[in-house]
Each structure stands twice: as structure tokens, then as C-alpha cells.
């Protein structure tokens, strides 16, 4: 690894990577390169040795079948993931992986997939899918935009911070106004779309955390996000 490099790891790309979630990995890679950092991109799939030197972790959504395929491996690497999160390693988890970072996910047929307890959240399949454009307000990232498509209804524990409050859309469960969850430098959300290309503030939070932890400081010049801002404006203006 060169002096200015970051090891970016995508978790379970074979099974947990739908609705454009690969775009989050690509956005992080491109922004890191524009900031002047070399990127070593690795995949982690079930059975692979876990890359303990990862600087930044990303995982996406998947069908129930995909969650079943990865959950045993996720339990295997859970101690490392929890330790890395507590040590400040940033992690972005979308939809299906978000659900498995909580305590459990109960499917529509009543089967229970145990989570790893990194987040104080519990998910159960709901009767209908929650689909459409979504806008939320985050105390850390301002206005966050994306597209949700999930049937899981997630309830946060009393001490669990959400990613933000829903302005338009359904969010975690369509009832309590919360969306996603936050702990350490872990960002969990139902927002597909992909999330990061339209939300550079979230991307840069993850990048800053990774770079500062690996290299001690992050003092790169701001990027020109004119195209991202136009995409955000268009997304915000779309009907639900």
C-alpha cells in the first residue's frame, strides 16, 4: 500500500448489491482518487478471509435469500466488525445489510435471521413494500435524498440515533418519522439510488473518517460538486 492510499472493502457484492448500491462503492473510489488517494478495492464474500486492514467498508441491499446466504459469514466476522466500528472504521450499510447490523430480521414467513447487534434496531417484514423517492433532514448531513424500496419495518431502540427525520417518504417504518441509524462512523440507511453520488456530504464524512484514521489528517481541497447538486435538486423536486 502506498503512502496515500485507502483500502476500500465491499461486503458481499455477490448477494447484497441491488438497486444501484454498487454506485456507493464507485462514488467513494472516485472521490478518494479526486482527493489524491490511491484506492485498493477488495470484495468480501462468504468464506473469504476477512480483510482486517480495511479502512472503509460498504455493503448494500439484497433479497431475503441473499441475507440467508451471508448471515452465517456475517456472524463469523461480527467480532471484527464491532471492534472496527468502535475503533472508528467507517461503514456504510444499505437496506438488507442495515437490517443485519441490528438485533434480528424476522421475514414474512416468520424465520428469524440473527443480526450482529452493532445497531440497537430490530426489523420485521411488513405487509407492503415502501417504495418511492425520499427526502430526510439529518443533523449531521443536512438534506439527504434517495430512493427507498423495502418491506422491512425497522424499529430503533430508545438510545439509537437515526440517520435523519423523514420529510417525504416512509423511512424506517412509515410511522415514527425516523430513517436509518447512526453510531460511531457507521451510517445505515434504506436509501438506494445510489445514496452517495447524490449526497456528497455523507460520502465525505466516510472518507474523512477513513483518511484521518489511516493517515492522521484530511486536508484536501473541496471538490466541485456542481453535477451532484443538480442531481440533488432534481431528486428533491420529484414526486413521491
pTM for the whole thing?
0.96
Residue with the larger pLDDT of the pair 239 and 104: 104
Which domain does 118 fall in, by range?
5-237
SS3 state at 187: strand
Q: With residue 2 as reference, give the H or E element that holds it.
A: none
Express each pLDDT in 4-27 by its tens digit. 999 999 999 999 988 888 999 999
Express each pLDDT in 109-122 by its tens digit. 999 999 999 999 99
Residue pair 134/169 in contact by the 8 Å Cβ criterion? yes
- Mean pLDDT of all residues in 80-105: 97
- Mean pLDDT of all residues in 82-96: 97
- Mean pLDDT of all residues in 139-161: 96
- Mean pLDDT of all residues in 72-83: 98
The CA–CA distances, whole Å, from 143 to 18, 76, 89, 162, 168 equal 24, 36, 24, 14, 11
Q: How many domains are there within the chain?
A: 1
Q: How many angstroms separate the most distant Cα atoms in the chain?
A: 51
The CATH code of the domain that includes 175 is: 3.40.50.880
What pLDDT is stored for residue 190 in this prediction? Answer: 97
Strands 104-106 and 121-138: parallel
Strands of 12-53, DSSP E: 38-44
Annotated binding site: 129
Positions marked active-site? 95, 192
Express each pLDDT in 211-237 by its tens digit. 999 999 999 999 999 999 998 999 899
The CA–CA distances, whole Å, from 236 to 20, 39, 165, 173 equal 18, 31, 15, 21
What pLDDT is stored for residue 19 in this prediction? Answer: 82
Kindly indicate the confidence band of residue 183, based on its pLDDT and cuts at 50, 70 and 90: very high
What pLDDT is stored for residue 63 in this prediction? Answer: 87
Share of the chain above pLDDT 90, in %: 92
> Residue 239: is its pLDDT beyond 90?
no
> Residue 2: is its pLDDT beyond 70?
no
Annotated binding site for substrate: 129
CA R_g for the chain? 17
Share of the chain above pLDDT 70, in %: 99
Amino acid at each position: 500500500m502506498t503512502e496515500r492510499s485507502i483500502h476500500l472493502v465491499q461486503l458481499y457484492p455477490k448477494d447484497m448489491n441491488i438497486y444501484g448500491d454498487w454506485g456507493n462503492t464507485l462514488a467513494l473510489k472516485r472521490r478518494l482518487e479526486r482527493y489524491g488517494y490511491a484506492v485498493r478495492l477488495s470484495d468480501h464474500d462468504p468464506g473469504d478471509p476477512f480483510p482486517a486492514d480495511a479502512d472503509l467498508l460498504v455493503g448494500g441491499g439484497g433479497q431475503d435469500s441473499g441475507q440467508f446466504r451471508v448471515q452465517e459469514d456475517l456472524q463469523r466476522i461480527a467480532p471484527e466488525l464491532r471492534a472496527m466500528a468502535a475503533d472508528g472504521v467507517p461503514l456504510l450499510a444499505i437496506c438488507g445489510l442495515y437490517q443485519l447490523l441490528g438485533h434480528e430480521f424476522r421475514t414474512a414467513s416468520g424465520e428469524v435471521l440473527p443480526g450482529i447487534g452493532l445497531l440497537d434496531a430490530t426489523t420485521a417484514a411488513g405487509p407492503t413494500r415502501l417504495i418511492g423517492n425520499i427526502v430526510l433532514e439529518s443533523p449531521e448531513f443536512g438534506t439527504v435524498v434517495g430512493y427507498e424500496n423495502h418491506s422491512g419495518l425497522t424499529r430503533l431502540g430508545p438510545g439509537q440515533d437515526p440517520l435523519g427525520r423523514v420529510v417525504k417518504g416512509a423511512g424506517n417504518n412509515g410511522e415514527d418519522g425516523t430513517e436509518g441509524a447512526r453510531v460511531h462512523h457507521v451510517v445505515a440507511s434504506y436509501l438506494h439510488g445510489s445514496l452517495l453520488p447524490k449526497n456528497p456530504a455523507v460520502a465525505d464524512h466516510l472518507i474523512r473518517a477513513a483518511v484521518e484514521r489511516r493517515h492522521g489528517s484530511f486536508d484536501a481541497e473541496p471538490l466541485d460538486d456542481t453535477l451532484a447538486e443538480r442531481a440533488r435538486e432534481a431528486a428533491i423536486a420529484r414526486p413521491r
